[in-house]
Structure 1
Amino acid sequence: MSDNSSQVSPAVLDLYKMAVEMADRLSSRRGTANAFFLTVQTTFVAVLGVATPNLAKSPWGIGLTVSLAGVALSATWWMQLRSYRDLNQAKFKVINKIEEQLPFKVFSDEWEYLKKDPIRTWRSRYAELGASERAIPWVFAILHALMFIGRFWG
């Protein structure tokens, strides 16, 4: 609980509700974007897997173009995730600032508990979803590069 136990202004409470709703919507949009990119990448890799015998017979430039398209898609996905991360950080800074005027600091306290929870003895700190989430586009980029390289030895 914060030291501020006085009556909270309705305007501040409305701004807080709006900021929390906007952060929730942003997380939802990020999830939808991830589902889109994961579907496209998985489909792309599956189609390439089926088409590999035909690609092996095609000029190397076609294989390079297809691989670069997959890498470009991965880079776009990663940049979008980075943008969502930056937007979320800004939104939670605003939410935390508003919470200074509220009797409870729901998000600030939750974050502190996640960072310091003694129950998690097998790891030293909270593993943010964004860290693993941003690794997935790199996995696909490497997969596309390996598929191109494998074309020459296959």
Structure 2
Amino acid sequence: MAENSDSLWNGAIEAHDYRDATASYHSAVFEQYKLCVEMADRVSSRRNLANTFFLTLHSSLLVFLGAWFTQGSHRRVPVALGLGALLVLLGMCAAWWFTVRSYQQLNRGKFEVIGALEERLPARAFVVAEWRALGEGKDWRVYIPLSRVERWIPLLFAVAYILGFSAAAL
């Protein structure tokens, strides 16, 4: 985090010189902090919306494919077409996985900046204290980071597609 802290400040005031800082400076830091926290929250909302979109899409596709395969009409589909459909579905799973990963990386960067801003505030409640209270995500009984869980979902759908198409091919 020190790297980001060093690159965050523009040199107008030394990084640890709290005594000479003016009230307007502290106010500006706090306003930027609030904006960064709000933007991190918006990224999390967009991430949840993307996950909802992919989950709905894949759940609908599984229902459709399940109904279609149980009617026996899958036997009339050429193997190449079935394989093509499987590759498209696996591509959609990969797109979902990379989308989740991208949002995780974006949030990680935002929280590093928020942590650097908290160095100038009286309390480091959000990034340091809360994370420590949650055991830093190391003990699953205290807290399981959502980012660890949500990356498994596209992989589980991919496995379901592979197993389903394999069973249908038999």
TM-score (ref. length: structure 2): 0.79
After TM superposition, which residue ranges in structure 1, 4 or more long, deviate above 3 angstroms?
4-8
Measure the CA separation in 1 of the matches of 2:107 and 2:27.
Answer: 24
Residue by residue over 1:100-134, the C-alpha shift from the partner in whole angstroms, topping out at 9 and shown as x without a partner, is 000011212100111169xx7xx466311111111
Change (3 A) 1:12 1:31: same
CA drift at 1:97: 0.3
Measure the CA separation in 2 of the matches of 1:124 and 1:31.
Answer: 23
Measure the CA separation in 2 of the matches of 1:62 and 1:46.
Answer: 19
Measure the CA separation in 2 of the matches of 1:151 and 1:61.
Answer: 14
SS in structure 2 of the partner of residue 9 of structure 1? helix
Match of 1:88 among 97, 107, 114: 107
Which structure has more relative contact order (CA 8 Å, sep 6+)? It is 1
Give the aligned length: 146
SS in structure 1 of the partner of residue 74 of structure 2? helix
SS in structure 1 of the partner of residue 81 of structure 2? helix
Residue by residue over 1:88-109, the C-alpha shift from the partner in whole angstroms, topping out at 9 and shown as x without a partner, is 1000000000000000112121
Q: Which runs of 5+ in 1 are unaligned?
A: none
Residue by residue over 1:10-55, the C-alpha shift from the partner in whole angstroms, topping out at 9 and shown as x without a partner, is 1101110110000000000000000000000001111111111212
Higher radius of gyration, 1 or 2:
2
Residue by residue over 1:45-91, the C-alpha shift from the partner in whole angstroms, topping out at 9 and shown as x without a partner, is 11111111212221111111111111111100000000000001000
Q: Which runs of 5+ in 2 are unaligned?
A: 1-17
Query: Match for residue 36 of structure 1?
Result: 53
The reply to whether residue 144 of structure 1 matches residue 164 of structure 2 is no
TM-score (ref. length: structure 1): 0.87
Identical-residue share of aligned pairs (%): 38
Query: Match for residue 75 of structure 2?
Result: 56
